[in-house]
A and B are shown apart, each in its own frame.
Chain A
Amino acid sequence: MVSGSTSTRNARSMGTTKAETDDSTAGKASGLARRRIIEDWMFISPQLFLFVLLTLVPFIVAFPILFTDMSGFNDPQVSGVGFDNFTAIFDNASVRADYFPALKRTLVFVGLNYLLVYVFGLSLALLMFEFGVRKALFTVIYMPLMLSGLAVGYLAVMLFSQETGNVNLLLMDLGLISKPIDLYSSGTSRFVLPLMVGWRYAGFNMSIFLVGLLAIPTDTIEASIVDGANYWQRLTRIYFPQMWPSFIIATTMALIGAFSVFDELVAMGALYVNPEAKFLSILFFTYGFQLDRLALGMTLAVVTSVPLMAVGLVLLRLQRKVQY
């Protein structure tokens, strides 16, 4: 990004000197510039068309639907209901009973997951950074990212289910617990899922932080060592202030990603048997595809996402500020 802004400046200064020194070609140059813009757009437009169509146009399509009673994708009779979908979160007992527990579960998950981004990612990155990047260890630690969310969910079931979970069987055999852990109880699933997701993304988060650490100029680190700073001081005064972009990227990804966690939950039986795995993503999905409450589901999704996206936009701004 730094290189981007400098070359912008270069190009601008070059453009002005050209125009100043050679007036006769000015008209020709602007023609060339116009041609360049058109050509640039020919390169940009194919992907931009798809991106706008599939990511931004859906919002335009969605907006009027929020104010209707559209129940399914092929609902023949759609009529306007004003703001009923928005107020349903507070008036409608069944929606309230669905929405608030799901919101709570999602928030708890997002929080724990964010904690584990640091517990796994940052500590692994620091270990790797201080004592040399070992390719073999990196390869193994990064490997769980090759698993699908679905596989991670089934692994959670395999390891922690009450009667057949490997971890349960092992702990029972060793006599460490007298009663097996119940994956489907609210307490357990609250911790098992963040643990599994943290494990899956450990290598990814590690590499985000590792990249931040590797970008720190080594002379500042050496200077701090020579000056006799202890490790904690080195972390808080040298590493962390220079790793801001990594923290912001990790935060943005962890927040937005964890909010949309879906595949793992499906594997844990969220669509049918396991009410403890009904997070907001599952709620929106079932409202749209199973329960004929499409407009309501979309409204809930919008209402929940707006604050989240606001936070995300602030983080994006912050990131640009840090980078420039």
Chain B
Amino acid sequence: MAVLNPIPADSDQQMIRAPKPKQFKNAKKRRRLYGSLAVGLLSIYAILTLIPFYALAIRSTVPTKESTDLHFWIPEADDVNLDAQVGNLAVFYNLDLTDLKRDLGIPVDDFLGARVSLRDLSETYDIPEEDISDYFSGFYTYNGWRTILTDSQFVGALLRTLFITLVSLIGLTLLSIMTGYGLAGLHRRDQRIVYKIYLLQMVIPAMLVLLPQFILIQWFSKLVPGFADPGFTRAAVQLGSIVAINIKGTAFSVMVFTAFITGLPKDLEDSAMLDGASRLGYVRHILIPLLKVPTVGLIVVQLPLIYNQFLEPFVYLDPDSSTLLPYIQTTVGQFSTNFQVIYAAILSSVIPLVAVYLAFRKLFVQGVLAGAVKG
């Protein structure tokens, strides 16, 4: 202030200036207090945010019959009732009897009646009762996980999800870079019109497009020979239509790359052209390596959207070539009252993406804050 005011300080200003150090000190103290208060509030919110994740992990181990009690930790396994009949256990725990025989050392060819109790087994085959209890204690807590992970379709569904996510992200990035380069600068009218067409995507509600899009894609799919019969062609066409929907571009993807490429110095392209590069060569060798920031920005926003896509796969894919989430929804439908299985299934779909997120958390934070600037 003193620099800005060349007039020598008169008595008035001195009076104002005199108490300043104290005020300043107070303000600093107050600011520090507010600061710790804010960090405290944010920390409380962060802990509240984590609670549902924790509760989900615990609930995936809580047997359904205990679900009306509150659990803060993985429940202790109840000893299995030795009078329980094998048939009932098999239904309840989704048990494969061949595995049971092998694991307990019962000859595989022996026939186990459904009404044989565990006590009978222990007596007939001379197995200590503790061994049987131990064998079943794992089922008590981890029955949900066993059911999901040993389900024949789980791995396939997970792999299809990973495949679609990977192909869609790569395709979307490359196509959006091309679009962004073609539109860069928005010099001409045609470029601005195309840009506005993409902006429309932001205001078109997903539910409005769903039914007519389905009609259209069915119509195209039927043109492919072999689509009517279940088999590889049908699954490939269905997965392909999901990928096509994912890579068609969004307002965000086009904005990110158009803005970033527009911001690059024009000399860059000119000098590459002078050196005899074609435009495709320029994109491949010079442009793409420069686009790390917008690419990360696009991927961190699109990855959760594509991995967690439910509606389109639910509608377009057959159950036996389904991705993870529709598979889980149908599986959960079968076990509609077995909460242990439901929550284990949900958690199994959450873990892969959360793991990726935590591993690349720096990129996510950077990408979100940088990518949004351009949008």
Contact surface of A with B, Cβ cutoff 8 Å: 1, 3-4, 7-8, 10-12, 37, 39-44, 46-48, 50-59, 61-62, 65, 73, 124, 127-128, 130-131, 133-135, 137-151, 154-155, 158-159, 163-164, 166, 169-170, 173, 199, 202, 204, 207-208, 210-211, 214-215, 226, 249, 252-253, 256, 259-260, 262-263, 266-267, 280-281, 284-285, 288-289, 294, 297-298, 301-302, 305, 308-309, 312-313, 315-316
Contact = CB atoms under 8 A, between A and B. Distances in A.
A146 B350 contact: yes
Contact of B205 (A155, A164, A256): A256
Interface stretch (B109-117, B140-148, B230-238, B308-316): B308-316
Interface stretch (B5-13, B120-128, B189-197): B189-197
A130 B38 contact: yes
Interface of B: 1, 34-35, 38-39, 41-43, 45-46, 49-50, 52-53, 55-56, 59, 67-70, 175-176, 178-179, 181-183, 185-188, 190-191, 194, 197-218, 244-245, 247-249, 258-259, 262-263, 266, 279, 283, 304, 307-308, 310-311, 314-315, 325, 328-329, 332, 339, 342-343, 346, 349-350, 353-354, 357-358, 361-362, 364-365, 368-369, 372-373, 375
Contacts of A47: 175-176, 178-179, 247-249
B59 A158 contact: yes
Given A146-B304, A284-B207, A134 B279 contact: no
B200 to A, nearest CB: 8
Given A46-B175, A151-B346, A288-B210, A12 B187 contact: yes
B108 to A, nearest CB: 39
B266 A7 contact: yes
A55 B204 contact: yes
A164 B182 contact: no
> A1, A53, A55, A309: which has the most chain B beta carbons within 10 Å?
A55
For the residues of A in contact with B, the DSSP-based class is: helix
B367 to A, nearest CB: 10
A52 B328 CA distance: 32
Contacts of B203: 252, 256, 308-309, 312-313, 315-316
A44 B178 contact: yes
A46 B211 contact: no
A43 B181 contact: yes
Contacts of B55: 158-159, 166
Contacts of A7: 185, 262, 266
Contacts of B49: 140-141, 143-144, 199, 202
Nearest to B206: A260
Contacts of A11: 185, 187, 266
B184 to A, nearest CB: 9
10 closest A-B pairs by CB: A312-B203, A43-B182, A148-B308, A58-B212, A62-B212, A44-B182, A47-B175, A169-B70, A50-B248, A140-B46
Given A61-B216, A135-B362, 4 more contacts: A44-B179, A131-B38, A134-B39, A158-B343
Contacts of B266: 7, 10-11
A44 B194 contact: yes
Contact of A139 (B39, B205, B361, B372): B361
Contacts of A169: 68-70
B41 A252 contact: no
Contacts, number: 280
A313 B213 CA distance: 22
A220 B292 CA distance: 32
A143 B360 CA distance: 12
Contacts of B59: 158, 166
Contacts of B34: 130-131
A3 B259 contact: yes
B179 A151 contact: no
A96 to B, nearest CB: 20
> B39, B211, B249, B263: which has the most chain A beta carbons within 10 Å?
B211
Nearest to B213: A58
B244 A316 contact: no
Nearest to B203: A312
Contact of A50 (B38, B244, B349, B364): B244
B369 A48 contact: no
Contact of A51 (B35, B249, B279, B310): B249
